């Protein structure tokens, strides 16, 4: 009986084991499906580069700085119609006329982009209304918006060459709005879409690249030396994600100061410029290809002058928003690890943090403006230093920082060390107290001469007493 029981129990276990093996196979299959789904989601997230601006940034700075004022690009501000569609379709007509003689029309461009529809959609952060846009509607939007941007670049890359007879000359008065709207984070189009359209309609063996054409267009307002943007356009850089990424990347210093190895342990945010001046630290405008190049040597912070106008304010805000959203940037092809670390770092956010450290009050802005480091033309009111201080203090409010690629960490450390040096503080205090005016200098000089004469008189008196003349 015992043996029969053991045999039946063994058969029962065997049957259960067979069932468990079947269940295990189902579980494994389910796990594989989940892994594939996760990989797909991760791939979609890694390709995402055009985001909705976080609510906290809109609350800090005002949502109007992140929304298009005159022209909407892409699906984030797409509602099936475009209030500015008239001149968009006028630009589309001009765009199509370039390849009309070759028999290339609107259908050809849409067919060219059709295989890339999924890739283009994944560039945008998921929004319900984007999923509701049909394939035809999405492709039409890409072609219409892309052709509009390319026509602007082609016709307005150099305003000196613009003729009154140009069919798009009447749009010139709108250019200040275009410069701002085309660099809004929510108002982007994937750069590879622009490149596809450009290669068909504009690309010539001896003509400028799309990158150079775009940088020349924005240089009408940024006013950088032409050799700077041409050097960037002709260098081997990874393809930009969109126009905002292109302009941001072109501002990154070619040879930034390498981050210190122990960055996580030593970074100390510095006091405002009013406090730094007590230790003798001064600020002066420097000459560099980018306003992001900040240096510190011998008690002097050297930083290129920055103009605080509507365009620069919008650019900084949207670059900071992009870096905040795009913190986990996907690895780009043909990009070295060093350059990837530089491009992936929050360079504009770090620079904005440095400004925020320097500026605490209106007096700090006034000092920097008097030193020609800040040119305040915000809201067309050169005297509104309060507004500039508020803008700078809100740039990075509530954001987190990745200290592993804090490109100004050496500047922060050197400034902090200099400020904490007691000798520097005493020397600065002496200069401020006794050498801050011509009369003070004369008084100090007179007192010094009197002291030296007294010492000399005492010396000779002692010598005469010890060694009297015979």
Banded pLDDT at 439 (limits 50, 70, 90) = low
Q: In whole angstroms, what is the distance from residue 231 CA to residue 250 CA? A: 10
**pTM beyond cutoff 0.85:** no
Strand partners, 306: 374
Range with the lowest mean pLDDT among 107-121, 145-159, 323-337? 323-337
pLDDT digits (tens, 9 = 90+) for 178-224: 999 999 999 999 999 999 999 998 877 788 899 999 999 999 999 99
Q: Which of 58, 123, 67 is nearest to 324 (CA)?
A: 58
Percent of the chain with pLDDT over 70: 69
Q: In whole angstroms, what is the distance from residue 194 CA to residue 171 CA? A: 21
Burial of residue 278, with CB atoms counted within 10 A of its CB: 0-12 exposed, 13-18 middle, 19 or more buried = middle
- Looking at mean pLDDT, say which of 198-207, 358-367, 427-436 comes out highest: 358-367
Q: In whole angstroms, what is the distance from residue 465 CA to residue 277 CA? A: 49
- Which helix (DSSP H) or strand (DSSP E) does residue 410 occupy? helix 409-420
Which pair of structure tokens corresponds to residue 74? 């892409």
Residue 359 predicted with pLDDT over 60: yes
- In this prediction, residue 313 carries a pLDDT of 94
pLDDT digits (tens, 9 = 90+) for 392-419: 999 988 887 666 567 888 888 888 888 7
Asked if 244 contacts 322 with a C-beta cutoff of 8 angstroms, the reply is: yes
Mean pLDDT computed over 154-178 = 76
Banded pLDDT at 329 (limits 50, 70, 90) = very low
Query: What's the angle, vertex CA 407, arms to CA 353 and CA 48, rounded to 5?
Result: 80
**Mean pLDDT, the chain, whole residue set:** 79
Q: Count Cβ neighbours within 10 Å for each residue of 336-350 and write b for 16 or more, e otherwise.
A: eeeeeebbbbbbbbb
CA distances from 3 to 7, 9, 10 (A): 6, 10, 10
Q: In whole angstroms, what is the distance from residue 282 CA to residue 33 CA? A: 61
Q: Count Cβ neighbours within 10 Å for each residue of 100-127 and write b for 16 or more, e otherwise.
A: eeeeeeeeebbebbeeeeeebbbbbeee
- φ, ψ of residue 327 to 5 degrees: the values are -60, -40
Banded pLDDT at 36 (limits 50, 70, 90) = very low
Better pLDDT: 71 or 28: 71
Quote the longest CA-to-CA distance of the chain. 141
Residue 199 DSSP label: H
- In this prediction, residue 402 carries a pLDDT of 61
Contacts of 216 (CB under 8 A, 6+ apart): 153, 157, 158, 208, 226, 229
**Tokens 């006329």, located at residue:** 97
Residue 158 predicted with pLDDT over 70: yes
- Four-residue CA torsion sign, 375, 378, 383, 389: negative
Q: In whole angstroms, what is the distance from residue 401 CA to residue 383 CA? A: 32
């Amino acid at each position: 009986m015992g043996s029969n029981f053991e045999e039946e129990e063994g058969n029962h276990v065997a049957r259960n084991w067979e069932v468990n093996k079947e269940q295990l196979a189902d579980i494994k299959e389910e796990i594989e499906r989940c892994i594939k789904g996760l990989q797909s989601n991760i791939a979609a997230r890694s390709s995402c580069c055009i985001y909705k601006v976080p609510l906290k940034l809109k609350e800090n700075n005002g949502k109007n700085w992140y929304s298009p004022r005159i022209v909407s690009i892409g699906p984030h501000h797409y509602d099936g119609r475009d209030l500015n569609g008239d001149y968009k379709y006028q630009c589309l007509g001009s765009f199509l006329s370039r390849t009309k003689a070759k028999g290339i029309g609107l259908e050809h461009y849409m067919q060219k982009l059709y295989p890339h529809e999924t890739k283009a959609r994944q560039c945008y952060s998921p929004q319900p209304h984007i999923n509701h846009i049909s394939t035809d509607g999405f492709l039409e939007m890409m072609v219409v918006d892309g052709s509009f941007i390319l026509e602007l670049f082609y016709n307005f890359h150099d305003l000196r060459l613009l003729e009154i007879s140009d069919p798009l000359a009447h749009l010139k008065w709108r250019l200040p709005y275009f410069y701002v709207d085309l660099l809004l984070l929510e108002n982007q189009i994937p750069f590879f879409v622009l490149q596809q359209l450009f290669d068909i309609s504009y690309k010539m063996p001896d003509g400028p690249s799309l990158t150079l054409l775009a940088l020349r267009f924005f240089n009408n307002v940024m006013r950088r030396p032409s050799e700077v943007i041409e050097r960037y356009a002709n260098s081997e850089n990874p393809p930009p994600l969109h126009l905002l990424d292109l302009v941001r990347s072109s501002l990154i210093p070619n040879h930034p100061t390498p981050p210190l190895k122990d960055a996580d342990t030593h970074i100390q945010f510095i006091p405002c410029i009013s406090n730094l001046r007590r230790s003798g630290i001064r600020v002066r405008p420097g000459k560099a290809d980018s306003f992001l190049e900040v240096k510190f040597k011998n008690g002097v912070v050297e930083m290129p002058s920055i103009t605080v106008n509507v365009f620069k304010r919008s650019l900084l805000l949207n670059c900071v928003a992009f870096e905040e959203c795009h913190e986990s940037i996907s690895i780009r092809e043909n990009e070295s690890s060093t350059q990837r670390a530089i491009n992936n770092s929050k360079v504009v956010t770090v620079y904005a943090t440095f400004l925020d450290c320097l500026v605490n009050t209106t007096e700090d802005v006034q000092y920097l403006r008097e030193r020609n480091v800040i040119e305040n033309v915000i809201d067309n009111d050169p005297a509104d230093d309060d507004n500039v201080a508020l803008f700078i203090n809100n740039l990075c409010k509530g954001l987190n920082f990745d200290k592993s690629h804090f490109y100004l960490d050496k500047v922060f450390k050197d400034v902090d060390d200099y400020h904490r040096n007691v000798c520097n503080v005493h020397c600065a205090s002496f200069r401020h107290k006794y050498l801050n005016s011509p009369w003070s200098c004369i008084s100090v000089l007179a007192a010094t001469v009197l002291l030296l004469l007294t010492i000399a008189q005492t010396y000779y008196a002692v010598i005469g007493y010890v060694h009297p003349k015979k």
